[in-house]
Amino acid sequence: MTPETRPQVILIAGPTASGKSAVALVLAGCLDGEIVNADSMQIYRELSVLTARPSARDMARVPHHLYGILGAAEACSAGMWLDLAVARINDIHQRGRLAIVCGGTGLYLKVLGEGMAQIPEVPAAIVSEAEALYRTLGGDGFLQRLAALDAPSAARLRPSDRQRLVRAFAVAQATGKSLSDWQGEQSAEPPVAARFFTLHLMPERAALYQKIEGRFEAMLEMGGLEEVRKLSELSLNASLPAMKALGVPELIAVLQGDLDMEAALARAKQTTRNLAKRQFTWFRNQGAADLVLADFGANVYEPSFAALSEFLKLKAPVG
């Protein structure tokens, strides 16, 4: 198979609340496509409202994959997601349809395009020990301890990068080989033999923050607090990814009487803005996209249609 004859994959990425799901839905409807989730929180069954998962009505319009397929008691890693996504994309291609991968989890999109090292599973006990050591030493002290095991990882991570620091430390402890060494052994071949078109939705930051302001209240009106109440009744470990989804810790604090709703709203909005800021930085640093759009809604469709018509070599323009 030559590069020109490989099936195509459309990647739609951008910060939270930038309108990715809406764009994916329109494009999938016009292009005989199917949408594959690349959002690390929309994969959890119990979190539909607070993760802004596509509605049942939208999912009925075009096929959607990897939405709400795991329970909150599971921890979905980038490797697990990659295996699931590659299987879905290959199936979509075998049926002669277009795969549209949509989400804001930059690491997921990165490993889809570049692959990842086959790192052995780290025992939960070792991860717990590393997390406890981080709490004891603090970020700076833990970073120094990591440097003795994995200097390259320590050099590129910040003291506040708790999750990545713990991951690097635990891998080195469990395998006797640094995360940097494992990553250096990954295959040069991407896991999907496809031609990728990357669309980044990168609206003006102030406009995005304004949209975030109203989004959380809307989620509460749609049942966000009740969703978190049911989640809390599962008595899950607070370190699980689903328990750290946007708004979940704040609303649990409300249910436990530790925060009033006004304070919870303010904190959740700030956390969401912080995430959006990190996502802006991530996508801008990951290399040039094929198309970057700085607006919302209908204004993004026309340039998307034009660019994709050329990429897909369609005889007539999309739209």
The CATH number given to whatever domain includes residue 242 is 3.40.50.300
Q: Which residues form the domain of 149?
A: 124-184
Q: Which of 93-97, 180-184, 315-319 has the lowest mean pLDDT?
A: 315-319
CATH code, domain carrying 166 = 1.10.20.140
Q: Mean of the pLDDT values across residues 138-164?
A: 91
Is residue 87 in a domain?
yes
Is residue 250 in a domain?
yes
Is residue 45 in a domain?
yes
Residue 264: CB atoms within 10 A of its CB come to: 22
Residue linked to tokens 């897909």? 312
Model confidence over 11-52: pLDDT tens digits? 999 999 999 999 999 999 999 999 999 999 999 999 999 999
Do 156 and 297 reside in the same domain of the chain?
Answer: no
Residue 285 has a pLDDT of: 86
Based on the structure, what is the number of domains in the chain?
Answer: 2
Do 239 and 255 reside in the same domain of the chain?
Answer: yes
Closest CA to 246 of 201, 216, 220: 216
Residue 79 has a pLDDT of: 87
Do 107 and 140 reside in the same domain of the chain?
Answer: no
Do 200 and 90 reside in the same domain of the chain?
Answer: yes
Do 301 and 266 reside in the same domain of the chain?
Answer: yes
Both tokens of 309, joined, read 């018509």
Q: Is the pLDDT of residue 117 over 90?
A: no
Which residue, 144, 166, 184, sits at the end of a domain? 184
Q: What is the rounded distance in angstroms from the CA atom of residue 240 to the CA atom of residue 159?
A: 21
Cα-only R_g, the chain: 20
Model confidence over 197-217: pLDDT tens digits? 999 999 999 999 999 988 989
